[in-house]
């Protein structure tokens, strides 16, 4: 189902003209009202009148997360503070948080793009959306909330955690749509099984999962265990929260709502824009944002773009599901390794659960990667010999994929801590 056919199926030449127009107004506003951007543009010798269309985007400066932190909290506001109606921030676990300040117009855009997102999985007025994304400064909860309200669906703002209550509400309120992180959905499925609750009997038809990278194998696992259509959604606090992009029912990449968010993929080292199909860092320009707009924001997410037509009829460019983050990319003995690559391999193995952790250590100046994977009850009750054979088989598979030797350790069921939000996949013990 397409929420806004006017914009989501706009012919590409018209879309490009619209993007160019919107970029022009954005650059004008930023140059006049945000000293941070005026200084950056002046340093590059570029003036607003140099930007005549979307093709001129590359003349403009990139923006990094560190720069956003430097001007914390209000240094990127493009309107008076009294125009701001809501503020969200990132978690700030690794330094000062980054701030997203919304005008009433920004909230309206957020509701619109989230309505488009939820509609991709068929959410309509009659649906009951159990929103298990966290409410608060984190954007997941309210983003889904605004989108569901816009559609006219019923929202249950249960927020994250409290798994027993999640299951009770799924049953009692007959929720038809579930939203949470992908890892939490599997945790819910596991808890349901323990309570003897058959997910098939519940009637949840679609799930929208995001806020952490996940693999195609994990999708299959989720769809089998929860009996629903699992849709990958994408967004980040700096840009608007969720609502930047979403898969459609064809699950062949995420449609970027590019009338609002213009994507580029760059080479992480040189900053040069890469052609479609080449992997690099996703960069986004907020074409319509009023409160805290960003020019060419480096998301640190690794993906590539695909402009081939999609059977759903949407004309927007699609991004491949996020392959990893430039900051959670592990460099093991000089090889770039993303947790999602490892996940893809281990989840194909018989007898293991989708719960794993990567532990990196440095011994005698050599990096060692230990992959801890949970066994299911059945494998756990098998002979040691069989466990060892399984470990060796996973090691061989990982070597074939990554070209590095890893140590695989099967751990007993439930040994790996469960998360109610984003899963912690990597423990890096190296001190450099």
Residues that bind Zn ion (CB under 5 A): 248, 250, 310, 312, 314
Instruction: Give the integer Cα–Cα distance in Å for 255 and 233.
Output: 9
**Residue 413 contacts residue 375 (beta carbons within 8 Å):** yes
Q: How far is the CB of 94 from Zn ion (least distance, A)?
A: 35
> How are beta strands 426-428 and 352-363 bridged, if at all?
parallel
Q: How far is the CB of 3 from Zn ion (least distance, A)?
A: 13
Centroid of chain to Cα 297: 15
Q: How far is the CB of 178 from Zn ion (least distance, A)?
A: 21
Instruction: Give the integer Cα–Cα distance in Å for 175 and 363.
Output: 50
The residue (of 41 and 310) whose beta carbon lies closer to Zn ion is 310
The residue (of 151 and 248) whose beta carbon lies closer to Zn ion is 248
The residue (of 248 and 332) whose beta carbon lies closer to Zn ion is 248
Q: How far is the CB of 120 from Zn ion (least distance, A)?
A: 8
- Which of 252, 26, 10, 225 is closest to 120 using CA atoms? 252
The residue (of 248 and 379) whose beta carbon lies closer to Zn ion is 248
Q: How far is the CB of 312 from Zn ion (least distance, A)?
A: 3
The residue (of 261 and 297) whose beta carbon lies closer to Zn ion is 261
**Bridge partner list, 324:** 302
Q: Which two tokens stand for residue 259?
A: 């009338």
Q: How far is the CB of 117 from Zn ion (least distance, A)?
A: 12
Q: End-to-end alpha-carbon separation of the chain, Å?
A: 50
Strand, coil or helix: 220: helix
The residue (of 76 and 310) whose beta carbon lies closer to Zn ion is 310
**Residue 280 contacts residue 266 (beta carbons within 8 Å):** yes
Radius of gyration of the chain (CA): 22
């Amino acid at each position: 189902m397409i929420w806004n056919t006017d914009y989501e199926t706009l012919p590409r030449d018209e879309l490009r003209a619209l993007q160019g127009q919107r970029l022009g107004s954005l650059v004008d506003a930023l140059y006049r009202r945000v000293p941070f951007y005026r200084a950056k543009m002046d340093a590059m010798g570029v003036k607003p009148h140099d930007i005549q269309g979307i093709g001129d985007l590359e003349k403009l400066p990139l923006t990094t997360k560190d720069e956003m932190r430097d001007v914390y909290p209000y240094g990127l506001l493009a309107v008076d503070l009294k125009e701001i109606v809501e503020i969200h921030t990132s978690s700030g676990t690794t330094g000062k948080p980054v701030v997203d300040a919304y005008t009433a117009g920004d909230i309206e855009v957020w509701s619109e793009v989230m309505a488009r997102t939820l509609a991709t999985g068929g959410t309509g007025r009659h649906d009951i959306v159990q929103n298990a994304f966290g409410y608060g400064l984190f954007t997941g909860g309210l983003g889904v909330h605004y989108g569901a309200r816009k559609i006219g669906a019923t929202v249950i703002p249960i927020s994250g955690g409290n798994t027993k209550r999640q299951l009770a509400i799924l049953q009692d309120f007959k929720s038809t749509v579930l939203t949470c992180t992908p890892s939490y959905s599997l945790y819910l499925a596991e808890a349901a099984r323990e309570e003897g609750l058959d997910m098939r009997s519940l009637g949840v038809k679609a799930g929208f999962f995001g806020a952490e990278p996940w693999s195609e194998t994990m999708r299959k696992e989720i769809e089998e265990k929860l009996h629903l259509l699992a849709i990958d959604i994408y967004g980040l606090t700096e840009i608007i929260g969720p609502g930047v992009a979403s898969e459609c029912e064809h699950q062949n990449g995420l449609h970027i709502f590019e009338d609002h968010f213009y994507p580029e993929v760059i080479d992480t080292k040189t900053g040069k824009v890469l052609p479609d199909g080449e992997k690099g860092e996703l960069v986004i320009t907020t074409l319509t944002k009023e409160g805290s707009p960003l020019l060419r924001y480096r998301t640190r997410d690794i993906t590539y773009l695909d402009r081939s037509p999609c059977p759903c009829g949407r004309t927007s460019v699609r991004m491949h599901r996020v392959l990893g983050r430039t900051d959670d990319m592990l460099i093991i003995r000089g090889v770039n390794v993303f947790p999602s690559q490892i996940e893809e391999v281990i989840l194909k193995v018989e007898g293991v659960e989708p719960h794993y952790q990567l532990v990196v250590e440095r011994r005698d100046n050599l990096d060692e990667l230990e992959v801890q994977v949970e066994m299911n009850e059945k494998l756990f009750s098998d002979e040691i010999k069989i466990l060892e054979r399984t470990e060796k088989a996973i090691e061989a598979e990982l070597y074939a994929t990554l070209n590095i030797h890893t140590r695989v350790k099967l751990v007993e069921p439930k040994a790996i801590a469960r998360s109610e939000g984003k899963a912690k996949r990597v423990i890096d013990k190296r001190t450099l």
